[in-house]
Structure 1
Amino acid sequence: MRRSHPRARFIGLGLFFIGFGWTACESSSDPATSTGTPGTGGSLPGGGLGVGALCLEDGECRAGLVCDQGTCQPGHTLAEGDPCIISAECMEGLYCEVGFCSPGGEGQAGDECTSDADCASGFRCDLQGFKAICVPEGDGDLGASCNEPVDCFGGLTCVDGACAIPAPGVPPFGVPWAGVDCPDEPEGGPVKAYFHVPRSGDQGIDYFQLPFPNDVRLSGSSVDYGDFPTPGDAFVGFDPVQRYIDAVEQEATGWGVYQAVLFRFSGQLDSDSFQGDVHLVDLTLGQPQGLRWYYSVGGGKYICPNRVGITGAEGRIFEPGHTYAAYFTTGIKASDGSDVTRPDDLIALLSDTAPSDPALAPHYAKYAPLRQYLADQRVDPAAILTASVFTIGDPRAVFSQIQSVIDAAPAPSASQWTLCDSGVASPCPDTDGPRACEAADPAFHELHALVELPIFQEGNAPYLEPADGGALKTSGGAPVVDHTEQVCLSLTIPKGTMPAGGWPTVVFAHGTGGHFRSHVVSGVAAELAAGVADGQGTTVQAAVLGIDQVQHGPRRNGSTESPNDLFFNVQNPAAARGNPQQGAADQMALLRFVPTVGFDAASSPTGEAFMLSTDVAFWGHSQGATQGALATPYGNWAGVAFTGQGASLKDALVSKTSPVNISAIVPLVLQDWDGNGALVGGARHPVLQLIQHHIDGGDPVAYARLLALEPPAPLAPRHVFMPYGQQDTYTPSRVQRAYLYGAGLDQVGADPSVSMVEDLPGKIATAAPASGNLDVGGQPTTALFRQYAPSGDDDGHFVAFDVPSARGDVLRFLAGSLSGVVPQVGQ
């Protein structure tokens, strides 16, 4: 078992500063022997004594230090722009950045930071697992002994057990991993396409000399990541890559549905020669697929130079259970126009007779689908330059059974129903501030209760570390309820005449940082209680139900960490996928629960008889939308609205900057950044393919087509509407696009709030109002998105709440879904 590092706490997906061009300083002083005491007791050439050295007057100490009671101590005397060694030499409000005093921040202990610049004097930015926060700086001067950077004064890092000035290219958090050893490529010879099947005793062979993913690394239904490069645990206290390798190898039954296919070559290629010579084929169906490719001359820490990546069309997944081939034909040329050499191992696997080489023989059958496809298409195998055959696993296999498990069990029950009003105590724990009951609203009754929901995650919430669990509990490949949990519930009932069949209901799933009353405090409950016109002649009044989503309120099991850190817990692979899956299971259970809610006048908390109907729609925002994307394809929802929705974790990890800058921390955690501080290769980075492989079962991209285009039998397609927020830093454009393309949503003409329409290839806008744009099995289905722009400095993530026309479009769509018409978008 890998050791646990004391600094590794949890993934918060925080932010950090990557230091480039750090000024290197050398000291000829003799550091005093230290056992953790501050300072070195030595001196710097021409600079005076260091912290802790004996002194008689200030002039003996180096600039920025003063002689205090016989020893040199930080004096905070250096002005902005003055040379410095440690931050404590600089005046209050400044810190030592790249050897010079620079303006600092105001962050106190525990505040999230982007660099030392965000922290107040006396604090430094510390990387703790996947989170960066301000912590008190250490008292180790240059040369003092240390175990980690926080033992040192700000401005220094810990290198080989001693406080030191960061060398050029080294961030203040420590010395990063050097990366893989790349083979020396011969100069002047022909460029080779790599396809090397691993053999015992291989020397000078990097992992990606076999195209990835590849069924050569598939044993039965188990994947083998073998010698996939890992950075070790020295930098962040654990090996983030090895954790995902272990998780995938333990349970994956095939390759991922949204991975890039990576190839390597021994030299530079002529990218202009790629046209018509790059192919992606579904071998199971015998059909070519849409694709995107990229080529990079440079390498990174994980993959060596001259690499090509192939992905499917944006948002389009590889079909679970199908076998695919990505291949290049011999029209591809080297940069000098010469032919590229075909690899011997691939030639053997594509030949008419099985190879005698014992390293190749077991894999000959795996390439039979490609050989057959080439024969069917009358393509000479000699025309194939290099290729990869890979079979896709089914990340939905377990989760897709959860709705059936819930429907087969007794419906969830609720207890302690309480009618809210001023001074009324809610039965829910932690009901301070906006979570508390408020004065009665003239438009609706607000009821609080505790609903007993099935929990499929096993382990100890909030599942911080791998040892805490967090994955779905299974038995024989089927999901199993681990336990039940009482969850806070708020239900708003319109004050008025109830429809004959009961109140139609909207289940509202809040975003990260929200709570079970988010539909009330946002005004959504009041608007639906007052009545919303569906645009087709009917005004709909609706009940609204909300709960505390996963890792919110009491569901954190006593943790005081933020819901953002706990829900998006990438440090624990099981929880990273299990949290959204459990959140989706919650919505499935609520769909089962809603029609069971009903009271006669004598037992009703409102004093009036009421019940909820079987007409249930869904509105999920951000985290709630992610969960809803997994849940709603498997239930009979009247309509589904997703706000702040996205898909594809690998794209989010390189583009998301709010509520914390994930795109900045990932390069540091993986220790692989380019000259701009971005992750080398972006979303095509090898490690992101590994992480995406594991997370597929909890990623909306794997479920997008099931909602309207390809609903699971015997369900009908769902009506779905997704506002597309411009300038969204929580769910950036590429992440929103992954979902809307994956779901096959069509575009409605941009809202008047938009001054410049974003170009989305293939998405021709239909004039508003629009409805029934799809015909799925003879059923008109609304499956649309629309662009909105935020006002002023607002973030586009919240257009459905901040832009009145966007809010109106969502409410009108939900009203139409509940009234039984084909709902429209726009008016």
Structure 2
Amino acid sequence: MMAKRCAAAAMLTVLGATGCGGDGTTVEPPEAVGTSSLFELDVDWAADRQFYDFPFPSDLRLDANGYPNLDGFINDGDNFAVTGVLEIAPQRRGWATVPVGYFRFDAPLGELDITATIPPGPDAAVLLIDVDPDSPERGRAIPTIATTPPADDFVPDNLLAVAARQGFVLHPDRTYAFVVTDALLDAEGKPVVAPPAFAKLRDGGTPAGELGPAAANLYESLWPALQTAGVEASRVVAATVFTTGDVVQELADLGDLVRDAYDVTIEDLSVDPDDGADHPRFCELVGTVTFPQFQTGTPPFDEDGVFVIGDDGLPVEQRQEVAPITITFPNEEMPAGGYPLVMYFHGSGGLSSQVVDRGKVPFEGAAPTKGEGPAHVLAAHGFGTVGSAHPVNPERLPGASVIAYLNTDNLEAFR
């Protein structure tokens, strides 16, 4: 995600985080002059164009069960793709392992070159730091890139966007922080400053607002991590603390549940009547395989296409689908433990038979050499192979194009 706006008022030229006047009254420190980020803990971020009045992502934006709350995300043009993402993003716990951080400021920032890597260090303008108390890498800073995207239907003006440099993926289920320091300059070339609420937090206090205590608790892990990273807390003018999720593990766990609960059925196996017994290195069998299907609706899923999770944690079976399957085994004596098996996954618009027939292409524009596909190569080394028709390929959805599975019009199903 990317959007912009996260600035609030100025840096504290503090006489003390909060002091007492001579008459015993509490005196809030005055706001310093300068460009600062929005750090609003007492406004409704879902209200009109206030989504970026607090940094994003943040664990303060998770609901009680750890799911992201994206209410108020700016989508002025009702872009269907963004709407689709907003529908599915809150269905997974935690934040992305390839995140983008957003900070909205109250005045324009200086230009930033998004192609320039920002190396981590005490003088970096922005940082991405592991702040997890249980992490073996606590205090490790990751190279970043940053930019100030122009205002549009999705982001407001004066937004700073920060991300890990391409190629860096964060660990799942770990807490990190995007950090902005006074090395960042505004459009006038002056260092940005901390808004009062963040300055109070940084100096050990609890900011005002309903979320003040929660913010103080969340940011406790940041300060020691900064010290480990060699960054002076006094130079930090904005930060957001967030915990990554683990969608890969969630999907793997769901897959394990499905495999344990269901069996697939292979039927009508026979030697391919075309040339199944004629290959010099292997024998080719063809048949059908029946798969349980869990997506609602019907292919190609212009509508529906989602899982309905039952009380047992399993997706509810919607129907069954029969697909062609090709199996090969080497023309040699089978080992005592059976032939090792390689599963072939065809590509866009591919067929179940390509494990056999997608051979060498002798010249540009020529057809692949039939019978010399992966099965031919692997049989020489004692491997069997198997390939079946994948969802929304032409064998399972007649007339399907090579990109029919790329369902960008229904991102909930595409996921």
Q: Does the 8 Å CA contact 1:197/1:216 hold for their aligned counterparts?
A: no
What is the alpha-carbon distance in structure 2 between the residues aligned to residue 502 and residue 345 of structure 1?
67
- Once the two structures are superposed, the pairs formed by residues 471-490 of structure 1 within 5 Å of their partners are 471=307, 473=309, 475=311, 477=313, 483-490=319-326
Cα displacement (A) at 1:419: 1.6
Name the TM-score, length of structure 2 as normaliser. Answer: 0.75
What is the alpha-carbon distance in structure 1 between the residues aligned to residue 374 and residue 191 of structure 2?
67
Who is 1:194 aligned against?
Answer: 38
Cα displacement (A) at 1:224: 1.1
Say which of 387, 390, 403 aligns to 1:546: 387
After superposition, the C-alpha distances for 1:518-539 in whole angstroms (9 at most, x for unaligned) are: 1222128636665669xxxxx5
Who is 2:16 aligned against?
Answer: none
Who is 2:268 aligned against?
Answer: 416
After superposition, the C-alpha distances for 1:384-426 in whole angstroms (9 at most, x for unaligned) are: 111111111221343212453355357533111122224xxxx
Q: Does the 8 Å CA contact 1:270/1:336 hold for their aligned counterparts?
A: no
What is the alpha-carbon distance in structure 2 between the residues aligned to residue 444 and residue 201 of structure 1?
64
- Aligned residue identity for 2:125: D
- Aligned residue identity for 2:401: S
- Once the two structures are superposed, the pairs formed by residues 542-581 of structure 1 within 5 Å of their partners are 542-556=383-397, 560-565=399-404, 567-577=405-415
Residue ranges of structure 1 left out of the alignment (5+ in a row): 1-178, 423-436, 534-538, 578-827
Who is 1:291 aligned against?
Answer: 143
- Once the two structures are superposed, the pairs formed by residues 158-169 of structure 1 within 5 Å of their partners are none
After superposition, the C-alpha distances for 1:123-148 in whole angstroms (9 at most, x for unaligned) are: xxxxxxxxxxxxxxxxxxxxxxxxxx
What is the alpha-carbon distance in structure 2 between the residues aligned to residue 217 and residue 484 of structure 1?
40
Measured at CA, do residues 329 and 486 of structure 1 come closer, stay the same or move farther in structure 2, by a change above 3 Å? same
Measured at CA, do residues 259 and 530 of structure 1 come closer, stay the same or move farther in structure 2, by a change above 3 Å? closer
Secondary structure at 2:295's aligned position in 1? strand
Say which of 259, 281, 285 aligns to 2:129: 281
Measured at CA, do residues 230 and 476 of structure 1 come closer, stay the same or move farther in structure 2, by a change above 3 Å? farther
Who is 1:446 aligned against?
Answer: 284
**What RMSD, in angstroms, separates the aligned Cα atoms of the two structures?**
3.7
After superposition, the C-alpha distances for 1:47-99 in whole angstroms (9 at most, x for unaligned) are: xxxxxxxxxxxxxxxxxxxxxxxxxxxxxxxxxxxxxxxxxxxxxxxxxxxxx
Q: Does 1:322 align with 2:165?
A: no
What is the alpha-carbon distance in structure 1 between the residues aligned to residue 4 and residue 101 of structure 2?
19
After superposition, the C-alpha distances for 1:514-570 in whole angstroms (9 at most, x for unaligned) are: 11111222128636665669xxxxx513322110012113533xx6442513x1112
Q: Does 1:516 align with 2:361?
A: no
Q: Does 1:219 align with 2:67?
A: no
Measured at CA, do residues 397 and 504 of structure 1 come closer, stay the same or move farther in structure 2, by a change above 3 Å? closer
Who is 1:373 aligned against?
Answer: 225
Name the TM-score, length of structure 1 as normaliser. Answer: 0.40
What is the alpha-carbon distance in structure 2 between the residues aligned to residue 376 and residue 527 of structure 1?
54
Q: Which has the higher contact order (CA 8 A, sep 6+)?
A: 2
Q: Does the 8 Å CA contact 1:529/1:541 hold for their aligned counterparts?
A: no
Q: Does the 8 Å CA contact 1:282/1:324 hold for their aligned counterparts?
A: yes
Who is 2:13 aligned against?
Answer: none
Secondary structure at 2:198's aligned position in 1? helix
Q: Which entry has the higher C-alpha Rg, 1 or 2?
A: 1
What is the alpha-carbon distance in structure 2 between the residues aligned to residue 326 and residue 215 of structure 1?
12
- Once the two structures are superposed, the pairs formed by residues 167-186 of structure 1 within 5 Å of their partners are none
Q: Does the 8 Å CA contact 1:192/1:267 hold for their aligned counterparts?
A: no
Cα displacement (A) at 1:317: 2.4
- Aligned residue identity for 1:550: P
After superposition, the C-alpha distances for 1:165-184 in whole angstroms (9 at most, x for unaligned) are: xxxxxxxxxxxxxx99999x
Say which of 57, 80, 83 aligns to 1:242: 83
Measured at CA, do residues 296 and 199 of structure 1 come closer, stay the same or move farther in structure 2, by a change above 3 Å? closer
Q: Does the 8 Å CA contact 1:199/1:359 hold for their aligned counterparts?
A: no
Residue ranges of structure 2 left out of the alignment (5+ in a row): 10-32, 361-370
What is the alpha-carbon distance in structure 1 between the residues aligned to residue 45 and residue 408 of structure 2?
35
- Once the two structures are superposed, the pairs formed by residues 104-503 of structure 1 within 5 Å of their partners are 190-197=34-41, 199-200=43-44, 206-220=50-64, 221-233=66-78, 239-249=80-90, 251-265=91-105, 266-269=107-110, 271=112, 276-284=124-132, 285=135, 286-296=138-148, 298-374=150-226, 381-405=233-257, 408-409=260-261, 411-422=263-274, 440-455=278-293, 457-462=294-299, 464-466=301-303, 468-471=304-307, 473=309, 475=311, 477=313, 483-503=319-339
Cα displacement (A) at 1:319: 2.0
- Aligned residue identity for 2:144: R
Cα displacement (A) at 1:242: 2.1
Measured at CA, do residues 240 and 295 of structure 1 come closer, stay the same or move farther in structure 2, by a change above 3 Å? closer
- Once the two structures are superposed, the pairs formed by residues 708-719 of structure 1 within 5 Å of their partners are none
After superposition, the C-alpha distances for 1:458-501 in whole angstroms (9 at most, x for unaligned) are: 312315244x2333745454556555432210112333443443
What is the alpha-carbon distance in structure 2 between the residues aligned to residue 281 and residue 315 of structure 1?
16
What is the alpha-carbon distance in structure 2 between the residues aligned to residue 405 and residue 202 of structure 1?
37
Who is 1:45 aligned against?
Answer: none
What is the alpha-carbon distance in structure 2 between the residues aligned to residue 401 and residue 458 of structure 1?
18
Measured at CA, do residues 181 and 269 of structure 1 come closer, stay the same or move farther in structure 2, by a change above 3 Å? closer
Q: Does the 8 Å CA contact 2:270/2:286 hold for their aligned counterparts?
A: yes
Measured at CA, do residues 309 and 288 of structure 1 come closer, stay the same or move farther in structure 2, by a change above 3 Å? farther
What is the alpha-carbon distance in structure 2 between the residues aligned to residue 404 and residue 499 of structure 1?
29
What is the alpha-carbon distance in structure 2 between the residues aligned to residue 218 and residue 368 of structure 1?
18
Secondary structure at 1:449's aligned position in 2? strand
What is the alpha-carbon distance in structure 2 between the residues aligned to residue 257 and residue 353 of structure 1?
30
Cα displacement (A) at 1:380: 5.2
After superposition, the C-alpha distances for 1:12-50 in whole angstroms (9 at most, x for unaligned) are: xxxxxxxxxxxxxxxxxxxxxxxxxxxxxxxxxxxxxxx
Secondary structure at 1:363's aligned position in 2? helix
Provide the identity percentage. Answer: 22
Q: Does the 8 Å CA contact 1:278/1:327 hold for their aligned counterparts?
A: yes
Q: Does the 8 Å CA contact 1:193/1:342 hold for their aligned counterparts?
A: yes
Q: Does the 8 Å CA contact 1:528/1:540 hold for their aligned counterparts?
A: no
Measured at CA, do residues 297 and 412 of structure 1 come closer, stay the same or move farther in structure 2, by a change above 3 Å? closer
Who is 1:526 aligned against?
Answer: 372
Cα displacement (A) at 1:303: 1.6
What is the alpha-carbon distance in structure 1 between the residues aligned to residue 46 and residue 306 of structure 2?
38
Cα displacement (A) at 1:217: 1.6
Q: Does the 8 Å CA contact 2:130/2:177 hold for their aligned counterparts?
A: yes
What is the alpha-carbon distance in structure 1 between the residues aligned to residue 215 and residue 250 of structure 2?
29
Q: Does the 8 Å CA contact 1:473/1:482 hold for their aligned counterparts?
A: no
Measured at CA, do residues 483 and 291 of structure 1 come closer, stay the same or move farther in structure 2, by a change above 3 Å? farther
Q: Does the 8 Å CA contact 1:355/1:361 hold for their aligned counterparts?
A: yes
Secondary structure at 2:248's aligned position in 1? coil
Cα displacement (A) at 1:361: 3.8
What is the alpha-carbon distance in structure 2 between the residues aligned to residue 494 and residue 526 of structure 1?
13
Secondary structure at 1:255's aligned position in 2? coil
After superposition, the C-alpha distances for 1:207-250 in whole angstroms (9 at most, x for unaligned) are: 334222122322221211121111445xxxx733222212222x
What is the alpha-carbon distance in structure 2 between the residues aligned to residue 454 and residue 491 of structure 1?
20
Cα displacement (A) at 1:572: 1.8
Cα displacement (A) at 1:340: 1.5
Secondary structure at 1:399's aligned position in 2? helix
What is the alpha-carbon distance in structure 2 between the residues aligned to residue 365 and residue 181 of structure 1?
24
Measured at CA, do residues 359 and 276 of structure 1 come closer, stay the same or move farther in structure 2, by a change above 3 Å? closer
What is the alpha-carbon distance in structure 2 between the residues aligned to residue 546 and residue 505 of structure 1?
11
